[in-house]
């Protein structure tokens, strides 16, 4: 096996998992992250606190012995709980027998567990506070901005795991070796919190809660501290859009009419709404994920960010890592053949889940509440 000097850009979910897999193969890995070490200090306010992890993602963790650590704090969700504007909540099981679930996981805890594992692995060096600003795909030379100034490095292989707004991808586009198309939704997202009520969950903890409202929706996932993280998926503009609620009275009035069960559960609702940022949602399409020659490739959201309505972005990124590892095994760590093989096996799948995720937005915000949908599900599950 050839031992290569590999740079992974981005120590998010994909990059830190990838570093663990590469180290296990005996490679020397430098993992560069623009943020400070997330294990020290507070996380970012209002930025996707939890996510749904399913079997696809768990498989990748199991293979490196991390499943039990991550699942220790997971909350299984057995189905959807629909909250209509008026009337009772409606539970829709994810499986016929009610025995299958997806798991609500703290994104920060998952990322920290992966960074811990990468740090503990032989051959991985972590560099926090290093923002990639330059990459020459022909030579593997890299430039980073750090609080102490510019740092230069070089690597035999550079893997961009730096998320939807990937700087690695931008460098490859600028070099003319990859073409990208980023399709933004007219909807954005904003997070709110439902705190624990007298130390208990304020809603049923074993469901993913959905407030379908036609052109928009809110979802809520449970957290280990018995709170729920709610995410509004609303149009950015227009009558029912984020921009239309410009002050405390408008926020209070809107939620009172459209989400009447929320204000009693969320005393900090108005403050959270006005203070938390609106995040953008989009799909990243690239014509290719790698540069011929075996020196550079993209992985995870950097290659194929998708909208979150199937809860599969991280799960899909973890599958990328497992597949790249498999391709390296099959090619005896020959990067020149492993990278195109990885892309060939993953790209159609990633494109498909990206399309399905867009379609599922319509289902979640609209169809799950329709009488026809409910009748069909009852027949299917009878
Ligand atoms: P990221 O998590 O974005 O990590 C990229 C890392 O690169 C970050 O640490 C960043 O700081 C770093 N970085 C960026 N630029 C640079 C640079 N220039 N130099 C160095 N480092 C850099 N997925 C699911 O599977 N289930 C869900 O339920 C789910 N829910 C979601 C809900 C929302 C609202 C959103 C927005 C996404 C959701 N996702 C979900 C998708 C999931 O969050 C992503 O697919 C996943 O985070 C991708 O991981 P990544 O490591 O590829 O990218």
Q: What is the dihedral of CA 356, 361, 366, 367, to 10 degrees?
A: 20
Task: Indicate the top mutation candidate among 61, 162, 169 to test ligand 1's pocket, ranked by most ligand atoms within 8 A of CB.
Answer: 162
CA 3/CA 143 separation, integer angstroms: 23
Cα of 197 from ligand 1 centre, angstroms: 31
Cα of 341 from ligand 1 centre, angstroms: 24
For ligand 1, what atom is nearest to the CA of residue 302? 52
Cα of 218 from ligand 1 centre, angstroms: 20
For ligand 1, what atom is nearest to the CA of residue 279? 36
DSSP one-letter string for 283-322? EEEES-SEETTTTEEE-THHHH---GGGS-HHHHHHHHHH
Q: Could you tell me the residue range of the domain that residue 329 belongs to?
A: 5-45+108-182+282-359
DSSP structural state of residue 263: G
Q: Is residue 193 in some structural domain?
A: no
Nearest protein Cα to ligand 1, atom 1: 163
CB-based pocket (< 6 A), ligand 1: 9-15, 32-35, 48, 51-52, 131-132, 161-164, 167, 189, 231, 279, 300-302, 308, 311-315, 317
DSSP structural state of residue 38: T
Cα of 12 from ligand 1 centre, angstroms: 6
Which residues face 127 on adjacent strands? 32
Question: Are residues 207 and 290 in contact, defined by beta-carbon separation less than 8 angstroms?
Answer: no
Q: Is residue 352 in some structural domain?
A: yes
Q: Both ends of the chain: CA-CA distance in Å?
A: 54
Nearest protein Cα to ligand 1, atom 31: 308
For residue 331, is it left (φ>0), alpha (ψ between -120 and 50) or beta?
Answer: alpha
* Cα-based angle 82, 258, 45 (whole degrees, multiple of 5): 80
pLDDT tens track of the chain, all 382 residues? 445 699 999 999 999 999 999 999 999 999 999 999 999 976 554 455 899 999 999 999 999 999 999 999 999 999 999 999 999 999 999 998 888 999 999 999 999 999 999 999 999 999 999 999 999 999 999 999 999 999 999 999 999 999 999 999 999 999 999 999 999 999 999 999 999 999 999 999 999 999 999 999 999 999 999 999 999 999 999 888 999 998 999 999 999 999 999 999 999 999 999 999 999 999 999 999 999 999 999 999 999 999 999 999 999 999 999 999 999 999 999 999 999 999 999 999 999 999 999 998 888 887 776 655 555 454 333 3
The reported pTM is 0.94
| pLDDT in the model for residue 42 | 66
Q: Is residue 149 in some structural domain?
A: yes
Question: Domain count of the chain?
Answer: 1
- CATH number of the domain to which 138 belongs: 3.50.50.60
Nearest protein Cα to ligand 1, atom 2: 12
| pLDDT in the model for residue 372 | 52
| pLDDT in the model for residue 99 | 86
3-state secondary structure of 106: strand
Is ipTM > 0.90 here? yes
Q: Is residue 203 in some structural domain?
A: no
Q: Is residue 197 in some structural domain?
A: no
For ligand 1, what atom is nearest to the CA of residue 221? 28
Q: Is residue 129 in some structural domain?
A: yes
Q: Is residue 334 in some structural domain?
A: yes
Q: Is residue 50 in some structural domain?
A: no
């Amino acid at each position: 096996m050839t031992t290569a000097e590999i740079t992974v850009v981005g120590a998010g979910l994909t990059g830190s998992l990838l570093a663990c897999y590469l180290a296990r193969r005996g490679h020397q890995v430098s993992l560069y992250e623009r943020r400070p070490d997330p294990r020290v200090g507070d996380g970012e306010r209002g930025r996707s606190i939890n996510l749904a992890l399913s079997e696809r993602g768990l498989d990748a963790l199991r293979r490196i012995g991390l499943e039990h650590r991550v699942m220790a704090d997971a909350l299984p969700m057995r189905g959807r709980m629909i909250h209509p504007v008026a009337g009772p909540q409606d539970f829709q099981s994810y499986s016929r027998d009610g025995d299958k679930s997806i798991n609500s996981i703290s994104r920060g805890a998952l990322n920290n567990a992966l960074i811990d594992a990468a740090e503990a692995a032989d051959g991985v060096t972590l560099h926090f506070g290093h923002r990639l600003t330059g990459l020459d795909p022909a030579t593997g030379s890299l430039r980073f901005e750090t609080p102490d100034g510019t740092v230069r490095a070089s690597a035999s292989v550079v893997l961009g795991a730096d998320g939807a707004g990937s700087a690695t991808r931008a460098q490859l586009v600028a070099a003319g070796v990859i073409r990208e198309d980023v399709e933004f939704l007219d909807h954005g997202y904003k997070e709110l919190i439902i705190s624990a009520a007298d130390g208990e969950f304020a809603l049923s903890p074993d469901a993913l809660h959905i407030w379908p409202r036609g052109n928009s929706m809110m979802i809520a996932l449970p957290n280990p501290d018995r709170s729920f993280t709610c995410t509004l998926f609303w149009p950015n503009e227009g009558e029912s859009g984020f921009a239309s609620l410009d002050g405390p009275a408008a926020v209070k009035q809107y939620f009172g009419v459209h989400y009447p069960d929320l204000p009693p559960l969320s005393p900090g609702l108005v403050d959270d709404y006005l203070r938390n940022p609106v995040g953008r949602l989009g799909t990243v399409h690239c014509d290719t994920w790698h540069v011929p020659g075996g020196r550079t490739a993209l992985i995870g959201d950097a290659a194929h960010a998708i909208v979150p309505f199937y809860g599969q972005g991280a799960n899909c990124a973890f599958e990328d890592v497992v597949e790249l590892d498999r391709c390296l095994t099959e090619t005896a760590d020959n990067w020149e053949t492993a990278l195109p093989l990885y892309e060939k096996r993953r790209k159609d799948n990633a494109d498909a889940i990206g399309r399905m995720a867009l379609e599922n937005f319509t289902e979640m915000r609209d169809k799950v509440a329709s009488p026809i949908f409910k009748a069909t599900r009852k027949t299917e599950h009878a």
